[in-house]
Structure 1
Amino acid sequence: MPDYKLYYFDVRSRGEVIRLLFHLADEKFEDQRIQMEEWGVLKAEMPLGQVPVLEVDGVKIAQTTAILRYLGHQFHRAGTNAVECARLDMMAEVIQEFMSAQGMGSYSRVLFGLIQANKEQFFKEKVLPDVEKYAPLVEKFLLENGNNGLLLGDRETWVDVFAAETFSKIIDYGSPDALDAYPHILALINRVFNHPNIKKYVAQRKPTPA
């Protein structure tokens, strides 16, 4: 197997889903958690001047979805044919749009205190409208695949992990009842986070502000 090194800050945010995928696959990787005082130097070494970045045998790959897609294929957590892969890509684009939407895309900066705003009010007025726009789309995909709590087939894919981590943060950092109207998303979160490998990792994970 290649030598993997993940560069990201010591928080969940956009890097945690990559860590979860490694743990799901039970694959070794170096989890390089960047401290802010290091970032000024490291930034110039990153392909796009940002993280997360996955280094594979010395080659650096940026962008969360590009990294996840690569690892999904490496770990056999992708589609079994071109059409299935395209459907997973379609769903991943929905998740990515959700993460980049006006409210959701700014919420982590609010949680970190980089944007001065009342957290509860921002969540209610800015984030929940994004949830109400994108969660029904994901709920629809899950419903089409039956009652196994997955987006495609009967085995967790990289997009299942992507969706579960993204929506779980709505509960963890927003409101525990924010997804009650979307039982299939809740089932997906439950299935992914109860996978033995992920459950073991999360049990040892320290809390972070976002």
Structure 2
Amino acid sequence: MRTALALALLLLSFPALAQPVLLDSSGTYVSPLAGVAVLGSQGTAFVVGVDAGRRITPAVDLGMHLSAGDLTYGAGGAFLTLGPSLGTTHQLGGGVEFDARVLGTATFADVSVADGFGLRRIRGTGQATLSRSFPIVGSLSLAPTVGAYASACQTLGITTTGRCAEAGALAGVDLRFRLFGADVSLPLVLSIPLAGDDRAGEFGVFDVSRAPVTGGLRFRF
């Protein structure tokens, strides 16, 4: 049976979530990433990684993304993606929060036997969102979120080279709560492409650096 079965896709959260990253009471954020998938007898693909950052001024945070794994099922297809992020968060009044951030990444990958392992793509992603938190019960709150994003990339040193660009809207909600002294958020946000197409710069099943990924868990301390 040639059916892909995702065994686990846990704590997915990058490159930039559609939510404010740092609360007024926090100075550091961490977003772990782990995933594995199986395609019948063809083997497995996996990804592990982390986003982490720290506030450098009262309204600005600086972070780093790092992820690695297999792009394809079975042997080969290794990749490593890394890059910096910069964000700013402001209170606009009436409980409305504005968040804007950018992320730049470089992906090193073994896309094909002929091309080997090397720098295969650079990508830039930016987004801006508005949200407002409403308390539900205890520490649990719900924050409707809307915004916009844009992403562009350039593939390098492979047989099929090309550029990609995409822009769209973000819409959804962010669940927020306290856990073991940390502020935790779980965004359930959709990215809605409106112009362009960034699939030309996509590599394999777990190439999760394309556009904003809008799910997962983020811990803020």
- For normalisation by structure 1, the TM-score amounts to 0.29
Q: Which has the higher strand share?
A: 2
Q: Which structure shows the bigger proportion of residues in helix conformation?
A: 1
